[in-house]
Structure 1
Amino acid sequence: MRRIDSGPDPVAAVPPPPPGTPPRTLADLYNDHRLRLVRLAVLLVDEPTTAEDVVQEAFAGLHRNWSGLRDEAAAVAYLRTAVVNGSRSVLRRRRTARDYVPPHTVTARSAESLAMLSAEHQAVVDALATLPPRQREVLVLRYYGGMSEAEIAEATGISRGTVKSTASRGLDTVAKVMAARASGR
Structure 2
Amino acid sequence: MTTCAAAAPELTEAYRRYRPRLLRLALGLVDDPATAEDVVQDVFAGLHRRGDGLRDPDALPGYLRTATLNRARSVLRRRRTERAYVPPHVPDAGSAESMALTAGERRGVAAALHALPPRQRQVLFLRYYGDLSEAQIAETTGISRGSVKSAASRGLRSVSTMLA
Same topology, TM > 0.5: yes
Q: Structure 1 CA distance, aligned partners of 2:23 and 2:102?
A: 63
What's the CA shift string for 1:45-80, capped at 9, x where partnerless? Answer: 111111111000000000111305112223322221
Residue 31 of structure 1 pairs with residue 5 of structure 2: no
Residue 72 of structure 1 pairs with residue 57 of structure 2: yes
Alpha carbons 1:124, 1:174 under 8 Å: kept = no
Paired residue type of 1:123 = V
- Residue number in structure 2 paired with 1:181: 155
Structure with greater helix share of residues: 2
What's the CA shift string for 1:154-185, capped at 9, x where partnerless? Answer: xxxxxxxxxxxxxxxxx999536865622659
Count of residues paired in the alignment: 119
Mapping of residues 37-116 of structure 1, within 5 Å: 37-106=22-91
Paired residue type of 2:112 = D
- Residue number in structure 2 paired with 1:127: 113
- Structure 2, unmatched stretches of 5+, are 1-6, 95-100, 126-151, 160-164
Q: Structure 2 CA distance, aligned partners of 1:28 and 1:116?
A: 68
- Structure 1, unmatched stretches of 5+, are 1-22, 110-114, 132-170
Paired residue type of 2:17 = D
What's the CA shift string for 1:90-110, capped at 9, x where partnerless? Answer: 11111112222222344789x
Paired residue type of 2:40 = V
Alpha carbons 2:120, 2:155 under 8 Å: kept = no
Deviation at 1:35, TM superposition (A): 0.5
Query: When the two structures are superposed, what TM-score results if normalisation uses the length of structure 2?
Result: 0.56
- C-alpha change, 1:174 and 1:75, in structure 2 (3 Å) is farther
Alpha carbons 2:47, 2:53 under 8 Å: kept = no
Alpha carbons 1:41, 1:51 under 8 Å: kept = yes
- C-alpha change, 1:55 and 1:181, in structure 2 (3 Å) is same
Q: Structure 2 CA distance, aligned partners of 1:172 and 1:72?
A: 92
Alpha carbons 1:62, 1:78 under 8 Å: kept = no
- Residue number in structure 2 paired with 1:134: none
- C-alpha change, 1:174 and 1:38, in structure 2 (3 Å) is same
Deviation at 1:119, TM superposition (A): 6.1
What's the CA shift string for 1:3-50, capped at 9, x where partnerless? Answer: xxxxxxxxxxxxxxxxxxxx8711111111010100110111111111
The Cα RMSD (Å) is 3.9
Q: Percent identity?
A: 46
